[in-house]
Structure 1
């Protein structure tokens, strides 16, 4: 672990804690890393270029997930494995949405691996469409998590 990794880890500990919110964020980040690793192994041809917008869109989602996890840690600090309790189950719902987003990113990477494993693919290839559909699912889960976070903010002020 280099100095840069150590400093990032400390920053993550301070902002995200070491509990459920941190783990949800880290899982999402690992899924994006895996997607990019698979993308790097694809042949660099015109079909490869078609997947770059999806890779960029996934990477652009990471700051949103980090912000959700950071705000959740501020509202309901977590240092262990238990999801903080809330009167209406909002934190459980929020964590579920973040977890689903992480799972959906892993499915994006899996769909991309299928593109790689199944050979040449034309512009309208259904496998590329599958990657795009998976990306849309990730976005929906993040939007749901943002809505749950807003609900948690409203509940905390009441």
Structure 2
């Protein structure tokens, strides 16, 4: 039984989005190809613009600054530092989900850290419509997400010019 179940797990990525997940797939991760979406060619948008434009931005390579905590980006550090900030429905509209390669997620800060996130915009509700299960951020909540190609920590405000 375990062998059969493990054969169904799928790791999706933005570069293979043309191959839609099947109804038996379990999505365990997703990310964007840095060669196709990076800080050089990304559309630089504000946090609020991504929240407000929502699905209109699906498939767009963006760069957005915010406060990264675990598997989400927040407009304010205080939101990211709240207990259960990544899964509580009370933060809907005040956070953007993050999907990334494991090497990036392993470095995810537990306390909100100002960062610029670069990747492809999607929506939890429509990104993998036929998947049997979606793990990660969208397993617990909904709303916008970014399939990350890179995350760049921002300089502390005292050293910015």
Relative to the length of structure 1, the TM-score reads 0.23
Q: Return the index of the structure with the highest Cα Rg.
A: 1
Relative to the length of structure 2, the TM-score reads 0.22
Bigger fraction of residues in helix: 1
Bigger fraction of residues in strand: 2
